[in-house]
Chain A
């Protein structure tokens, strides 16, 4: 069941498409609906909004990592000409948090600051320069406190409590879940691999800094434009913190310049502009500096992970034990979920007969960590996939074969009781194996060159929303009329991943029109149905299904109207190429606008709504927390990375990455490929370049909060990437589609780590794999080679002194 030939795959896809038409739009490559606006520079980002009388706001931030605020004197700021208002934490006493169980943040600090960059006060003034000057005139009396930058130190007895809202000191979340007797299973295994891994923190670094504009109209409606990926949660939290009814607030997300999870919860600036607009009666704008983006963070958590994995002689996993310390920073953010994800999302694509994980998230005096592309599961995936590689070496099994032997298969249930539907993992492995010529080339590569493999799975949204409710998770409204044009209204946030285009593709497929005939109106809480936002890779599956629902209802109305006039059964009518057509006599057709007008005559104004809710029955665990991470459908990925390691400098050059991703069904191929390439780039960058760190020796300032010092690889550094789309359609996805935005990142880092081992025989268990760390590991290996305590690397090493090595 798990392996499928390409022919049955496409047959299934057609079946999933309802068997109505051949791919009129689905599976083609499309220009994104917003591409021309972006390319011509006419897209208006949040910072491009300029409203009459608009004020500019700035936030005064703490230079200290941990301090009580004994007093704030804003009088010198207020007395400055051009300053309209100053707000402080006293104006935002209601705490918020994207996860309803952990509201532990205030829009501005109330009585204490918990990391360098914590907001203390906000100023609205006629222009930015005046606002900056006013910020410099705010006097704060601090009582400095000991700051904690190490999670284990923060957990020690007697440590000061960092977050004032925390319920258990500096413990943010402690979680133990056990499935079967993992310790015993590992103990009884023929091979036990133990390893300590460290994943450094990384951040999103979206090109567009966070920005928000607020305006209050004469009737009291507050409008907030924000570079957010979760308009709905922002809407909710604004209502809560500002104590306004939700119907008095409108949230609009203008075109976004990247997010990657870094804009998936409310931030201080949104509350500040709203409050300042309410106070002054003027529109207010606030744009973060790049440094503020780094301090707002919510990036990948640093994780210290200890893994014990038991294997049979044949390479079958017998049991997995994991102990993980998660460095959370000063606030919870999504941390409750992160803690679950650090263990819960690991149970596929491999079959775990027994599993136990213990994850502990801790508050520290650092910028808060949160969700970054592949939330919570990229770190443990790194550990697990390197564990598998170590086992393959010990057992003398090809690492791809070892992964095959552990494949969970489709229509299966994981050890933690998640229902897997379609599963194209084996096809992914096969695709990267073939494309990289794994077998032939791996046997022939010289010392210094290596190939590494890794696999993974990811969710397509979660079955349960962030806040418990019985309403649908997604809804779409579509209107058509006699002009032949189509309007799609959706609350989904297009963050560059192409969700507006995805909606246009589905609508065009169903209604037989071109993408150019469709206007997608999204992410405006006044005009669009509620959607929960762009996170957990939920939009294609959930909003796509809602859209398909609405579009399909309209299609039926149009087909019925045509069938009535042609006096043939509606099943003979199809809508393609801007026409309504008789399937049995394709020469018999009319323009789609005419078909729409017939339907309009029959039904009146043509509008339909569609909604989607997740399957809840038997899809998840029955234990406490068993719903967290359960998804309607799971994507699968495999990577092969090829590297060259310079023995004398420790520089790792990634020569190529092959990525195969099972997205169920590629609704729009170029966008899927783009997501795969973007994911690979991001993972590659984390593996070799990035580290989001504060400097404990200098009061906890960020080590380099700029795009100069936070070294993201440039275009010139990025390796060639070959994207291989695998389609194992899932019954729960629209046309079988699953996610493609986050899953393709996961195997990148361990594939590179495993390739480094293959090249030069060193294990990079700590990230990033920067040249000094790699060189240090090479030194250690060379020392033990000399001492005869390690087995030499199997590859021919060439000359004893490499080229350029000083004699």
Chain B
């Protein structure tokens, strides 16, 4: 069995204590569910001197309906299984539940947290291996080397954003709440992620994510998280697309007022698909919506050979599955009107 490297463990009970512990040990890592961090430590991708466990920070495990602000505040320590079944979240943000319940397996979702999934390290077939394995290829930009095996001569790590929740959070215009020594700051999810596989968020190392803030929908909304993997369980996404359509009324043929499509598993950053304005004003039931958007996804998204599945195939499938998902949403909307969003 692979062994963990030695490390100290701190067990603060409050967010303030977490921040103090982060300041006291600059290279410490935050340990929430550990389902991403611990395997990465076993692979010797990092050797932090200490782990700061969030196990006792109960304040991070709340889902709060902030009716005054018309928002929902989901604590970073909420487990993915809690998240996926939470009635409030399910009602207002069904695609986030969909994403959470597609992560790995039930046992892992019981341990894994929302904060952990937001910060899931970027993944690459040439990195997420044992140290012995990486020795065989001479390392790479992200570990023990200075070459990229995905993009020859590349100087920027393109390890793939593999979180299921992140594309949804960006599609829903969520915000990430951080607390650090200077206090609290809130960053729109769209600005939170960076195109750098080595450090793919703007969080600085003495900050801890405390919550995800989601504004409740102001319009009738259809949303969906689309994930494809070879297996029906356990895998990281090979295709990952978050979709959100705001509609004028609840009718299935209502005109589209806003659309946000976010694609994961390309490089380190989720890609917000642009140039979708042509869809605004079109009826949601119009088959051209699916045609137009799936074509835009195909032309703007280029999967790389950073994860172990044929990139050309994945690119082609982005179009097929996006098209199908939009069609299915339109049909579903026509047959069973979903919960109208809050106006």
Contact = CB atoms under 8 A, between A and B. Distances in A.
A48 to B, nearest CB: 13
Contact of B125 (A699, A709, A771): A709
**Size category, A interface:** 35 or more
B132 interface: yes
Given A289-B130, A702-B133, A709-B308, A803 B231 contact: no
B291 A807 contact: yes
Given A64-B136, A698-B149, A714 B1 contact: no
Contacts of A700: 136
B132 A772 contact: no
Contacts of A64: 136
Interface residues of B, number: 39
Interface string A203-227: 0000001000000000000000000
Given A61-B132, A128-B3, A701-B133, A806 B233 contact: no
A132 interface: yes
Interface in B119-171: 125-126, 128-130, 132-133, 135-137, 149
Contacts, number: 92
Interface in A262-314: 287, 289-291
Interface in A690-717: 698-706, 708-709, 711, 713-717
A116 B133 CA distance: 9
B55 to A, nearest CB: 24
Contacts of A650: 313
A129 interface: yes
Nearest to A64: B136
Given A128-B3, A129-B6, A116 B136 contact: yes
B232 interface: yes
A805 B320 contact: yes
Nearest to A806: B323
A132 B313 contact: no
Given A701-B136, A705-B133, A649 B295 contact: no
B17 interface: no
B168 to A, nearest CB: 22
B133 A775 contact: no
Contact of A648 (B126, B234, B312, B320): B320
Nearest to B307: A709
B317 interface: yes
A548 B137 CA distance: 56
B136 A699 contact: yes
A24 interface: no
A63 B308 contact: no
Contacts of B231: 689, 711, 713-714, 716-717
Interface in A217-272: none
A804 interface: yes
Contacts of B287: 807
B327 interface: yes
Contact of B233 (A132, A209, A716): A716
B276 to A, nearest CB: 16
Chain B CB count within 10 A is highest, among A290, A689, A771, for A771
A770 interface: yes
A711 B149 contact: no
B230 A689 contact: yes
B327 A804 contact: yes
A698 B136 contact: yes
Contacts of A804: 320, 323-324, 327
B204 interface: no
A61 B294 CA distance: 48
A116 B6 CA distance: 28
A290 B316 CA distance: 33
Contact of B295 (A291, A709, A806): A806
B234 A708 contact: yes
Contacts of A701: 133, 136-137
14 contacts: A63-B132, A63-B136, A289-B1, A698-B126, A698-B149, A699-B136, A701-B133, A708-B236, A714-B232, A714-B233, A715-B233, A716-B232, A803-B327, A807-B291
3 A-B pairs closest in CB distance: A804-B324, A716-B232, A772-B313
Given A648-B320, A804-B327, 17 more contacts: A129-B6, A289-B1, A650-B313, A698-B137, A702-B133, A708-B128, A708-B235, A711-B231, A711-B235, A716-B231, A716-B233, A717-B231, A770-B230, A772-B309, A806-B295, A806-B323, A807-B291
Interface of A: 61, 63-64, 116, 128-129, 132, 209, 287, 289-291, 648-650, 689, 698-706, 708-709, 711, 713-717, 770-772, 775, 803-807
